[in-house]
Amino acid sequence: MPRNCVNIMPKNQNVFNKRHVAHAEVVRRQSLAIQYVAIAIIVVVVGLVAYGILSTTVFLQYRSVASVNGDKIGLREFEGRVRLQRIQLINNFTQYYQFAQMFGAEDPFTEPNFGGFLQQIYTQLQQPQVVGEEVLNALIDERLIRQEAKKLGIESNTEEVDRFIQQQFGFYANGTPTPAPSTTPFTMPALNPTQLALVTVTPTPGPATATITVTPDLTSTPTSIPTATAAPTEGPEPTPLPSATPYTLEGFQTSYGETLTNLQENTKLSAEDYRYFFETLYLREKLVEAVTKDVEPFEAQIWAQHILVDSEELAKEILVRFADGEDWSQLAAQYSTDTSNAQNGGDLGWFNSDVSFVPEFKDAVFALQQAEISAPVQTEFGWHIIRVLGREPRPIDEQRFQELKEKTFTAWLEEVRAGADIQTFDIWMEYVPTDPELPIQ
């Protein structure tokens, strides 16, 4: 090539190269964008799959079944307590079943003493939603108890809870305590002048078991009941509630350790969960004492008589004859169809508002004042004439006193619950455990 010649690239070639470079850059950026989008999609898909797995395993236990004034009740706690409740029901079922067999029953479900309880427990275990709702309500009450205890400055320390747990297992470090005497001696009050003028018979010391009383039906027949050959087989070995047998500290520690192991295996509750449960029971006891500190060992009671007949006409006739001066006791002995007390003036003794009279009779008798006589009252048993001989506060024994305090506390807790901010979440219905199952052949 001549020395003076210059190698000049054609103009159109330059333009071609620039366009090629620009196109390549666009392609490169598009490829990177596609790669990033693909990676993002993969990450999202993997994340969703992982979340789905974790939400049904790890995260699920942290979901709430209820909220009590902002305090959450977790699903894990709910499931564990449902299993604990089922274990207790199964233990009760097994105990009643064995008792029925001891009485020689071929079919324990029809045994008069224990068959009703067996049917009731069996039905309950076949209805997980019922058990779940009971447990959920119990957990809500426990949250309220802890919150109210805190408001009143009621606290617990480690030593107190330790001692409380030991006592629940029947271990008393300083020896088994001697039962305390009754708060108030139970005595029959003397008759006042009005009662002396009315009564012609000696009052009975307690409520009479007359035909007007109603025994509540504690059982409900399950849709399908096991055959008479049913027998509990070996199932989980739960011991969530201790026996009352006194033993040594070492024995308590062994029993408590075995209980915790069984709890973990059968309910998935931890040692901390179990301790929390006992701590709540301890706080409840303290709260009951605080709430019922003004409750006295007395309660209003009524002493009444009645004459039961078959027709309103006869009841009215008896009222007229009594108003004309005939003796109440003689009229009761002559006409009353309640054979349990006709011969002692139809005496029903002293009773409180918990008496199991039929509603019509109960309403009528509690509407009367001392010395008043009712108009004829109709119930399913016939027509009653009621006379109230006494109405006054009477001393009660220790057992009744504790029942009265518990009744007062329950009413108080219902008021607290009514004023609380309580939310329940339907997720609990989807995760009510059905295990452990009642082992029946």
**Does the pLDDT value for residue 225 go beyond 50?**
no
DSSP calls for 42-111 = HHHHHHHHHHHHHHTTTGGGGSEEEEETTEEEEHHHHHHHHHHHHHHHHHHHHHHHHHHHHTT-SSGGG-
CB-based contact 260:169 (threshold 8 Å): no
Q: How confident is residue 227, by pLDDT bands cut at 50, 70 and 90?
A: very low
42: tokens are: 């993969």
The mean pLDDT value of the chain amounts to 81
Would you tell me how many other CB atoms lie within 10 Å of the CB of residue 147?
Answer: 15
Residue 377 sits in which domain range?
Answer: 298-395
pLDDT for residue 216 is more than 50: no
Q: Decide if 364 is inside a domain.
A: yes
Please enumerate in sequence order all residues whose Cβ is within 8 A of that of 404, keeping only pairs 6 or more positions apart, or say none: 295, 297, 299, 396
**Total domains present in the chain:** 1
144-183, pLDDT tens digit by residue? Answer: 999 999 999 999 999 999 999 999 988 988 777 665 555 5
Q: Is the pLDDT of residue 398 over 60?
A: yes
Q: Are the beta carbons of 370 and 194 closer than 8 angstroms?
A: yes
Confidence check: pLDDT of 198 > 70: no
**Tens-digit pLDDT profile for residues 373-382:** 999 999 999 9
| DSSP 8-state assignment for residue 357 | B
For residues 278, 279, 280, 284, the Cα torsion angle rounded to the nearest 10 degrees is 100
354 in a domain, yes or no?
yes
| pLDDT given for residue 374 in this prediction | 96
Residue 214 predicted with pLDDT over 60: no
- Inside any domain, residue 366: yes
Amino acid, single-letter form, for residue 394: R
pLDDT beyond 50 at 208:
no
Share of the chain above pLDDT 70, in %: 74
When pLDDT is cut at 50, 70 and 90, the band that residue 236 belongs to is very low
Q: What is the pLDDT of residues 300-339, one digit of tens each?
A: 999 999 999 999 999 999 999 999 999 999 999 999 999 9
**Confidence check: pLDDT of 129 > 80:** yes
User: Is 22 among the domain residues?
Assistant: no
Tokens 């500290």 found at: 249
Quick one: pLDDT at residue 39?
A: 81
Phi, psi angles (nearest 5°) of residue 290: -70, -45
Supply the CATH number for residue 379's domain. Answer: 3.10.50.40
For residue 302, report the phi and psi dihedrals to the nearest 5 degrees.
-125, 140
Of 13-22, 49-58, 192-201, 206-215, where does mean pLDDT reach its minimum?
Answer: 206-215
Residue-level pLDDT at 28: 75
Residues 394, 299: Cα–Cα separation, whole Å: 6
Structure tokens at 302: 């009524």
Write the pLDDT tens digit of every residue in 26-63. Answer: 767 777 778 877 787 887 776 676 555 545 555 545 69
Q: What confidence tens digit (pLDDT) does each residue in 342-370 have? A: 999 999 999 998 898 999 999 999 999 99
Q: Does residue 167 form part of some domain?
A: no
Residue 21 has pLDDT above 80, yes or no: no
For residues 308 and 365, give the distance between their C-alpha atoms in angstroms, rounded to a whole number.
Answer: 14
- Spatial distance between the Cα atoms of 404 and 193, rounded to a whole number of angstroms: 30
Q: Residue 350 in contact with residue 394, Cβ under 8 Å?
A: yes
Residue 406 confidence (pLDDT) above 80? yes
Q: Where on the phi/psi map is residue 196: left (φ > 0), alpha (ψ -120 to 50), or beta?
A: alpha
Q: Is the pLDDT of residue 215 over 60?
A: no
Strand order in the sheet with 377-379: 347-351, 298-309, 382-395, 377-379
- Segment 255-259 long-range contacts (CB within 8 Å, at least 24 positions apart): 255/169, 256/165, 256/169
Residue 346 located in a structural domain: yes
Average pLDDT over residues 111-135: 93
In a domain, 374, yes or no: yes
In a domain, 328, yes or no: yes
Residue 52: the pLDDT is 58
Instruction: State the pLDDT at residue 283.
Output: 97
Q: Are 226 and 122 in contact (CB under 8 A)?
A: yes
Q: How far apart are CA 30 and CA 26, in angstroms?
A: 6
| Calpha distance 222→208 (Å, rounded) | 33
d(Cα 421, Cα 337) in Å, to the nearest integer? 54
How much is the pLDDT for 337? 96
